[in-house]
């Protein structure tokens, strides 16, 4: 308790008397410790709240409610409010801690995997998708540079889904294309976000639409087939600060498409952060070769979503759905992706069982 007493004493020296202390600890605080802290900090014992380690961050509100922190704060502020109803939240936490429908393994192939917090929102979106499907999501972070100039060596056969997240610059781009090709050819659920959509377009242009050397002008300004190009609004921009397509924009989804089924709506709004877009001059070529542009922006006719109708689950979007996902309101794209990954996992187990019997 000494560090706590010292901290409160320092606060009191500058005229701050705390009403509540939230005490981080690896284990529960015993009653004697709480009384000692209350005595030497002049804080009511009801205001000494433990914040011990829990299995998931989503359990923290339940722990604080168990100790009546909300009631303490309301009493201090003399505010009346109805009793908090955390029943559904508690059920959600139980699904996080004890999923009943198995585990799915998702490979996230990106540029910044040495610091996974760079993809924190993507990570949480995948976890939220697991909550929606009552499955545990095990994520493997893979640097795309691992595959540059080399074979995949069967690495993706053990995964149930592949996700390519956002990013900028040409480093590691070629290492993203091979996993996308493998997922497309082998029926592995694939989810591309922002840069992930652009890489899916490049891979498809090269390997299906017959445009050898197709690329983004971001990575190769002299490419013969600029399937990804600067938006018209960016063509004359020479400085890059504050010039991106940022914020929430509306998009229209193609009737009967898989993404419309996922959203259960034809009009959506999503958050964006990008400068480059699918080159509309190649849209007809892609659609002739089987790639559907199933979502377009309502303002400029830009490609927002692509999908392969004959694939178990192959969807990529130009926007960032992870930014709107919440544990109790998983984004529909993440929920649908994990559902497809769970189906893939179940199919793999069935095939393995049949092979063992044979």
E-strand ranges in the chain read 21-25, 48-52, 103-110, 136-143, 161-164, 190-193, 215-216, 226-230, 245-253, 267-274, 276-278, 292-297, 303-307, 314-317
Length of the chain: 358
Angle made by CA atoms 249, 293, 184, in degrees to the nearest 5: 120
CA atoms within 13 A on the CB side of 319: 25
Rounded Cα distance, 92 and 338, in Å: 16
Record the tokens describing residue 81, joined without a space.
Answer: 């409010």
Q: Do 269 and 249 form a contact (C-beta atoms < 8 A)?
A: yes
Helix (H), strand (E) at residue 176: helix 174-186
With tokens 């971001």, the residue in question is: 218
Instruction: Please list the active-site residues.
Output: 194, 320, 322
Q: Do 23 and 49 form a contact (C-beta atoms < 8 A)?
A: yes
The H helix count followed by the E strand count for the chain is: 11, 14
DSSP letters along 103-158, please? EEEEEEEES-TTSGGGGHHHHHHHHHHHHHHT-EEEEEEEEGGGGTTS--TTGGGG
Map residue 302 onto helix, strand or coil. Answer: coil
Beta bridge partners of 54: none
């Amino acid at each position: 308790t000494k560090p706590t007493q010292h901290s409160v004493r320092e606060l009191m020296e500058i005229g701050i008397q705390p009403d509540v202390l939230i005490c981080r600890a690896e284990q529960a605080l015993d009653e004697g410790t709480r009384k000692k802290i209350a005595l030497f900090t002049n804080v009511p014992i009801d205001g000494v709240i433990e914040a011990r380690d829990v299995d998931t961050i989503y359990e923290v509100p339940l722990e604080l409610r168990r100790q009546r922190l909300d009631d303490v704060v309301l009493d201090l502020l003399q505010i009346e409010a109805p009793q908090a109803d955390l029943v559904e939240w508690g059920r959600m936490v139980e699904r996080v801690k004890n999923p009943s429908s198995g585990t799915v393994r998702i490979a996230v192939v990106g540029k910044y995997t040495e610091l996974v917090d760079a993809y924190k929102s993507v990570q949480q979106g995948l976890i939220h998708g697991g909550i929606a499907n009552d499955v545990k999501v095990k994520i493997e972070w893979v640097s795309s540079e691992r595959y540059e100039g080399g074979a995949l060596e069967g690495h993706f056969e053990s995964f149930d889904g592949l996700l390519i997240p956002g990013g900028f610059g040409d480093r590691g781009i070629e290492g993203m294309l091979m996993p996308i090709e493998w997922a497309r050819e082998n029926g592995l659920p694939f989810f591309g976000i922002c840069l992930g959509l652009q890489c899916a377009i490049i891979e498809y242009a090269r390997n299906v639409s017959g445009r050898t050397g197709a690329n983004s002008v971001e990575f190769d300004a002299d490419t013969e087939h600029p399937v990804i190009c600067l938006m018209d609004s960016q063509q004359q921009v020479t400085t890059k600060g504050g010039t991106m397509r940022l914020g929430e924009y509306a998009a229209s989804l193609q009737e009967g498409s898989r993404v419309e089924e996922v959203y259960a709506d034809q009009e959506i709004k999503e958050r964006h952060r990008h400068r480059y877009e699918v080159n509309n001059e190649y849209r007809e070529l892609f659609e002739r070769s089987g790639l559907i542009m199933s979502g377009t922006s309502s303002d400029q006719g830009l490609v927002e979503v692509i999908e392969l109708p004959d694939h178990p689950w192959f969807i990529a979007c130009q926007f960032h759905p992870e930014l709107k996902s919440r544990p109790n309101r998983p984004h529909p794209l993440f929920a649908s992706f994990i559902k497809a990954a769970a189906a893939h996992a179940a199919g793999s187990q069935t095939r393995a069982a049949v092979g063992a019997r044979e």
